[in-house]
């Protein structure tokens, strides 16, 4: 038996706390609500929870703007609730992975309030300040959420740098005191018994705004190694670096077992293939399916034995996959299962974003019903720039972050069982049809299919370690691949589209091949693959 780390055999579930389960009727999900749902997660079979930020925050960006790293936001509960969550999860063999935002803080963080007091304040250089040139910002860098990346502070006569909202000033990692303060805070959470960290936009911490460098700055890997050495290095914590700018080569650097950086990367190359070349995510284009296969194959091959990848279609920044690349109408369940099958045969650690296991769909609301800062800024910017309302809403319904941030659909009672009060964002009206209660007891449900896939992965060394091989790379509809390990093979064939295709299964299978899982409820054809059909075999 080859040795492996616990997280190489794990499935991680992402909770977006605001929308998971409300316990006190204020319409906002909270920690006691999560504790109440741990048995559901255990039933699904997951090993870890990536908990989106619950630290104290003014919530301009739903917690990705932290004003106190060592306290829980009262909206989510107390430190006592957090300790109870960690220990209740532990009883069920589930680890809590804490989401830390180290690239920036909130502008309400005491460090920033101090920093604004004067150029000689000890906290001033925890942030990045420039004087500007003749009353203008130092350069034309733009923020990810729209507008310039520089904000003027009249009291100081200086600009500060922010890659996201002005309420999220970037931290200055060049300052060793800042780094040490952050490491102390990480060690505080390690002592509290958390199971790991997800590190928000970590590839931005080595920025150099004077050179207009944001991701992959010159000192990035030095900082990461230093953090590793001073905090989680040598423990069995899982660490996941969110890295938008990673190539497979960089991915290997971040996640090489001998590299003293992270356990794995969370990279996005595969989810950027439906936008216009050179455009933003809002500039929609049909998915380049062959490119998708090529990109997945590349990461599978290039990280094999030398790094470790996350496997995901969804998170709180991405639209729902069944609405995006599946079919959320007549083939909702079938395509949701197909998309899961494609992912669950790959090497890496799978992530489920809350509701994905139910095949939840994009919330297509009118603009008044959305809340996300990025989405609302985009709307204003594009309307001002002369796009039509219809064009802008089409982009938002396809890619807006709130499409996937609506409350978890637990049952068909009022507000889907999420809250007894008024939810902070509207519940998707399809909850009467799509909800956990109806799926847990239905063996054909998307939920039960995910549970079976998780079990399959756990007991299968081939899926954990096997070498990857892509078949039919040029095919426009079919995603077909094998995994090979010690003379054995797992074979996966999936139809990504709604047309039936000829497919001679015998070309790939042998007499003794065993069908491990399929989403096809009727007879399995020997010479074709039906719309959105997926099968996984042990050859």
| Minimum CB distance to Ca ion smaller for 77 or for 531 | 77
Nearer to Ca ion, 26 or 430 (CB): 26
At residue 343, what are phi and psi to the nearest 5 degrees?
-75, -35
Collapse the DSSP code of 309 into the 3-class scheme (helix H, G, I; strand E, B; otherwise coil) and give the result.
Answer: strand
Least separation in angstroms between CB 98 and Ca ion: 20
Q: Structure tokens of 104?
A: 């920036």
Residue 64 in the binding site for ligand ISL (CB under 6 A): yes
Residues 6+ apart with CB under 8 A from 153: 116, 159, 160
Q: In the numeric block, which tokens belong to residue 514?
A: 């065993």
Contact 243, 252 (CB under 8 A): no
Per-residue mark of binding to ligand ISL, 425-464 (x: CB under 6 A) = ----------------------------------------
CB of 281 to ligand ISL, least distance (A): 5
Q: Which is nearer to ligand ISL, 201 or 480 (CB)?
A: 201
Q: Which of 18, 116, 281, 320 binds ligand ISL (CB under 6 A)?
A: 281
Q: What tokens does 488 get?
A: 């054995």
Residue 183 parent element (H or E): helix 176-191
CB atoms within 10 A of CB 242: 22
Name which of ligand ISL, Ca ion, none residue 24 binds, using a CB cut-off of 5 to 8 Å depending on partner kind: Ca ion
Instruction: Pick from 47, 61, 347, 533 the residue near ligand ISL by CB under 6 A.
Output: 61
User: Is 275 an interacting residue with respect to ligand ISL (CB under 6 A)?
Assistant: no
Q: Per CB under 6 A, does 317 bind ligand ISL?
A: yes
Calpha distance 438→513 (Å, rounded):
33
Q: Which does 22 bind (CB under 5 to 8 A by kind): ligand ISL, Ca ion, none?
A: Ca ion
- Shortest Cβ 54–ligand ISL spacing (Å): 14
Binding mask 142-161 for ligand ISL (x = CB under 6 A): --x-----------------
Q: Which string of x and - marks every residue 163-202 that binds ligand ISL (by CB under 6 A)?
A: -x-----------------------------------xx-
Q: Is 120 a catalytic residue?
A: no
Phi, psi of 518 (to 5 degrees): -150, 155
The CA–CA distances, whole Å, from 256 to 222, 239, 259, 264, 304 equal: 15, 12, 5, 8, 10
Q: Which residues bind Ca ion (CB under 5 A)?
A: 22, 24, 26, 28, 30
**Which is closer to Ca ion, CB of 25 or CB of 257?**
25
Give, for 301, the enclosing helix (H) or strand (E): helix 289-303
Looking at 61, 107, 203, 242, which residue is catalytic?
Answer: 242
Number of residues located near ligand ISL, criterion CB under 6 A: 12
Give the distance, in angstroms, between the CA of residue 102 and the centroid of all CA atoms in the same chain: 17
Q: Give the contact letters, 338-377, x = binds to ligand ISL (CB under 6 A), - = no.
A: ------------------------------------x---
Distances, alpha carbon 395 to alpha carbons 115, 319, 321, 389, in Å: 38, 11, 15, 10
Nearest to 50 by CA among 301, 242, 325, 326: 242
**Shortest distance, CB of residue 399 to ligand ISL, whole angstroms?**
8
Q: Is 320 in the site for ligand ISL (CB under 6 A)?
A: no
∠ CA(62), CA(68), CA(70), 5° rounding? 110
Question: Under DSSP, is residue 483 helix (H, G, I), strand (E, B) or coil?
Answer: strand
For residue 242, the 8-state DSSP code is E
Q: Smallest gap, in angstroms, from Cβ of residue 71 to Ca ion? A: 17
Element (H, E) at 452: helix 446-458
Q: Does the footprint of ligand ISL cover residue 402 (CB under 6 A)?
A: no
Supply the angle between the helices 289-303 and 248-255 in degrees, to the nearest 10. 40
201 or 360: whose CB is closer to ligand ISL? 201
Answer with the entry of ligand ISL, Ca ion, none that 317 interacts with (C-beta below 5 to 8 A by kind).
ligand ISL
Q: Measured from the CB of residue 358, what is the shortest distance to ligand ISL in angstroms?
A: 22
Shortest distance (Å) from residue 49 CB to ligand ISL: 16
- Comparison of 284 and 448: residue with beta carbon closer to ligand ISL: 284
Compute the least distance from the CB of residue 223 to ligand ISL, in Å: 17
Measured from the CB atom, is 56 or 105 closer to Ca ion?
Answer: 56
Could you say which of 47, 61, 200, 261 is catalytic? 200
Nearest to 398 by CA among 320, 337, 303, 333: 320
Is residue 3 annotated as part of the catalytic site, yes or no? no
Residue 471: partners with Cβ closer than 8 Å, 6 or more residues away: 480, 481, 482, 508
Neighbours of 484 (CB within 10 A): 16
Q: Which residues participate in catalysis according to the annotation?
A: 200, 242
Applying CB under 6 A, the residues found at the interface with ligand ISL are 61, 64, 101, 144, 164, 200-201, 244, 281, 316-317, 374
């Amino acid at each position: 038996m080859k040795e492996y780390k616990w997280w190489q055999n794990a499935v991680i579930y992402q909770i977006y706390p605001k929308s998971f389960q409300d316990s006190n009727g204020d319409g906002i999900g909270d920690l006691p609500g999560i504790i109440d749902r741990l048995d559901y997660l255990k039933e699904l079979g997951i090993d870890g929870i990536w908990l989106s930020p619950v630290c104290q925050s003014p919530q301009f960006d739903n917690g990705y703007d932290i004003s106190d790293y060592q306290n829980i936001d009262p909206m989510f509960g107390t430190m006592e609730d957090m300790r109870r969550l960690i220990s209740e999860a532990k009883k069920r063999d589930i680890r809590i992975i804490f989401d830390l935002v180290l690239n920036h803080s909130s502008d309400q963080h005491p460090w920033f309030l101090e920093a604004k007091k004067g150029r000689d304040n000890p906290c001033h250089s925890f942030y990045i300040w420039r004087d500007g040139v003749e009353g203008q910002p130092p350069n034309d860098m733009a923020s990810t959420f729209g507008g310039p990346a520089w904000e003027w502070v009249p009291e100081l006569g200086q600009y500060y740098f922010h890659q996201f909202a002005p309420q999220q000033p970037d931290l200055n990692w060049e300052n060793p005191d800042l780094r040490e303060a952050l490491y102390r805070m990480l060690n505080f959470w390690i002592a509290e018994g958390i199971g790991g960290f997800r590190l928000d936009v970590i590839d931005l911490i080595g920025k150099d705004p004077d050179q207009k460098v944001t991701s992959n700055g010159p000192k990035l890997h030095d900082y990461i190694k230093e953090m590793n050495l001073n905090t989680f290095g040598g423990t069995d914590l899982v660490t996941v670096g969110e890295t938008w700018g990673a190539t497979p080569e960089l991915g290997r650097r971040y996640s090489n077992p001998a590299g003293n950086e992270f356990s794995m990367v969370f990279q996005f190359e595969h989810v950027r293939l439906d936008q216009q070349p050179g455009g933003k995510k809002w500039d929609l284009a049909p998915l380049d399916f062959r490119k998708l296969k090529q990109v997945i194959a590349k990461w599978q091959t290039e990280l094999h034995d030398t790094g470790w990848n996350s496997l995901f279609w969804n998170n709180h920044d991405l639209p729902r996959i069944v609405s995006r690349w599946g079919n959320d109408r007549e083939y909702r369940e079938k395509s949701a299962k197909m998309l899961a099958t494609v992912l669950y045969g790959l090497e890496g650690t799978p992530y489920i974003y809350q509701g994905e296991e139910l095949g939840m769909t994009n919330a297509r609301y009118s603009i008044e019903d959305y809340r996300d800062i990025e989405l609302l800024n985009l709307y204003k910017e594009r309307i001002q720039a002369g796009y039509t309302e219809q064009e802008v809403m089409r982009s938002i319904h396809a890619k807006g972050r709130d499409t996937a941030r609506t409350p978890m659909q637990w049952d068909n009672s009022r507000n889907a069982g999420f809250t007894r009060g008024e939810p902070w964002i509207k519940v998707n009206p399809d909850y009467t049809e799509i909800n956990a209660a109806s799926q847990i007891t239905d063996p054909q449900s998307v939920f039960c299919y995910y549970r079976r896939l998780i079990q399959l992965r756990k007991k299968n060394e081939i899926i954990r370690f096997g070498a990857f091989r892509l078949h039919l790379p040029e095919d426009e509809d079919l995603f077909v691949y094998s995994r090979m390990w010690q003379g054995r093979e797992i074979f996966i064939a999936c139809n990504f589209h709604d047309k039936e295709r000829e497919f001679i299964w015998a070309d790939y299978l042998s007499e003794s091949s065993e069908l491990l899982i399929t989403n096809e409820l009727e007879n399995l054809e020997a010479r074709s693959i039906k719309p959105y059909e997926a099968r996984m075999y042990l050859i």
